[in-house]
Amino acid sequence: MDSGGSCIDETSSDHSANSISVSPLTVLLTPEKLCRVGSGSSVVLDLETGVDQAESRKLPSSQYKGVVPQPNGRWGAQIYEKHQRVWLGTFNEEQEAAKAYDIAAQRFRGRDAITNFKPLLDSNEDDDIEAAFLNSHSKAEIVDMLRKHTYNDELDQSKRNFGDGSCHGKINRSGIYMGLTTGSMGQGMGAREQLFEKAVTPSDVGKLNRLVIPKQHAEKNFPLQTGTTSKGVLLNFEDNGGKVWRFRYSYWNSSQSYVLTKGWSRFVKEKGLKAGDIVMFMRSTGGDKHLFIDFKTRTGSSSIQQPIYPVHHQQPAVQVVRLFGVNIFKMPNIAVSGLVENNNNHHAWIGNKRIREVDLLQTIDCCKKQHIISAGAL
């Protein structure tokens, strides 16, 4: 990588690599920060000065806790828990990464966590709302938001929806967590209703990287708003192990099919799904209405520990709720809190971030609507 140059011109590489240009702030960073070599030790710097190559190659340390430099000049955020690193994503700005760490620290360690910036939790109302928001989401969900840079949007949405992050009552200042990093003890263990199941076809587990959702099930359970059909939305499903799977769900006009695309192939791979296996979609019957996914092999062995969830019949009607000038579909019995609209009119989290899948969804369309059905704990 770039073995000829003494250092990468980060500003230009960033511009070329990213669909969204870096912010002026990045450009204004000190030259040293912009002078990084690529990853790996194979890069040889030809510095006539004779300056120690290893020295030149060295990445700058961050002044912030939980923030680590990336070879391309960006910043990673990470937090440790139980001797394990939890990666919080990469960011253009060191401060963004530091903020991500802070949020994770609050979620993982409670109100008294040491943070880079001011403690999240004063006693003012806004902080309480954020604390409630944090505690109403599993650690995994918070981490996912941080990694996808949707935290602020989802927090805003929560504030606008209910002002309490769907966590009613007093906030426990010592931090009572509803979700755990492992296991499905978060919002997952309540009663579930099975929505539908499908025996996957060869193409569902093949190279097309998509799962076709039978139309009647799709329209009944995952209605798409006009205008979001082709663009898709992100759906979160929790599996039996408590892992959250986030799939893009959209309608393909070409085949007139509802499909799970992005993320699906990974699920197939990890679960070792084969044609004929049966994928099941469920939803909790509690207030949170989280979504779940599971599967069983053709021969019948299920990945779940045989919990037989009561199957309730679905009500077909779909309501449209108008919120903040945006139509949000609401299924009967589904709290609107299960649908999270991301509207990046509000925040700079994405800011100069390079476009990623999630960001694209927000950026492409001027309406910038993205619904995330959050699916629970990790």
Partner DNA sequence: ATCTGTGTTGAC
Partner DNA sequence: TCAACACAGATG
Name the token pair of 172: 């426990």
Q: How far is the CB of 47 from DNA (least distance, A)?
A: 16
Q: How far is the CB of 148 from DNA (least distance, A)?
A: 9
61: number of Cβ within 10 Å: 9
Name the token pair of 259: 């499909």
Report 105-144 residues binding DNA (CB under 7 A): 114
Closer CB to DNA, residue 40 or residue 325?
A: 40
Q: Is 82 in the site for DNA (CB under 7 A)?
A: yes
Closer CB to DNA, residue 88 or residue 328?
A: 88
* 194: exposed, middle or buried (Cβ count in 10 Å: 0-12, 13-18, 19+): middle
| String marking each residue 45-74 x if it binds DNA according to CB under 7 A | ---------x--xxx-xx-xxxxxxxxx-x
Among the listed ranges 35-43, 227-235, 298-306, 325-333, the one in contact with DNA (CB under 7 A) is 35-43
Report 343-372 residues binding DNA (CB under 7 A): 354, 356-357
Closer CB to DNA, residue 56 or residue 302?
A: 56
Q: Is 208 in the site for DNA (CB under 7 A)?
A: no
Name the token pair of 53: 């190559």
**CA of residue 203 relative to chain centroid, distance:** 27
Q: Is 313 in the site for DNA (CB under 7 A)?
A: no
Q: Which of 12, 85, 216, 307 binds DNA (CB under 7 A)?
A: 85
Name the token pair of 225: 């708003």
Q: Rounded CA gap, 194 and 173, in Å? A: 36
Q: Which of 370, 367, 348 is nearest to 357 (CA)?
A: 370
Tokens 């663009």, located at residue: 231
Count of residues binding DNA (CB under 7 A)?
43
- Residue 309 CB-half CA count within 13 A: 25
Q: Is 287 in the site for DNA (CB under 7 A)?
A: no
Q: Where are the beta strands (DSSP E) in 185-273?
A: 192-199, 211-213, 233-238, 244-252, 257-260
Strands 257-260 and 278-284: unpaired
Q: Which of 21, 124, 90 is nearest to 355 (CA)?
A: 21
Closer CB to DNA, residue 105 or residue 339?
A: 105
**CA of residue 272 relative to chain centroid, distance:** 23
Closer CB to DNA, residue 69 or residue 186?
A: 69
Q: Is 40 in the site for DNA (CB under 7 A)?
A: yes
DSSP 56: H
Q: Is 322 in the site for DNA (CB under 7 A)?
A: no
Closer CB to DNA, residue 9 or residue 219?
A: 9
Q: Is 90 in the site for DNA (CB under 7 A)?
A: yes
Q: Is 41 in the site for DNA (CB under 7 A)?
A: yes
Q: How far is the CB of 81 from DNA (least distance, A)?
A: 5
Closer CB to DNA, residue 248 or residue 283?
A: 248
Report 140-199 residues binding DNA (CB under 7 A): 147
Q: Rounded CA gap, 163 and 323, in Å? A: 13
Sheet of 67-69: strand order equals 67-69, 75-81, 84-91
| String marking each residue 209-248 x if it binds DNA according to CB under 7 A | ----------------------------------------
CB 76 within 8 A of CB 49: no
Closer CB to DNA, residue 219 or residue 357?
A: 357
Closer CB to DNA, residue 5 or residue 286?
A: 5
Strand-pair partners of 327: 322
* 226: exposed, middle or buried (Cβ count in 10 Å: 0-12, 13-18, 19+): exposed
Report 4-33 residues binding DNA (CB under 7 A): 13-14, 17
Return residues touching DNA (CB under 7 A). 1-2, 13-14, 17, 38-42, 54, 57-59, 61-62, 64-72, 74, 76, 78-83, 85, 87, 89-90, 114, 147, 266, 354, 356-357
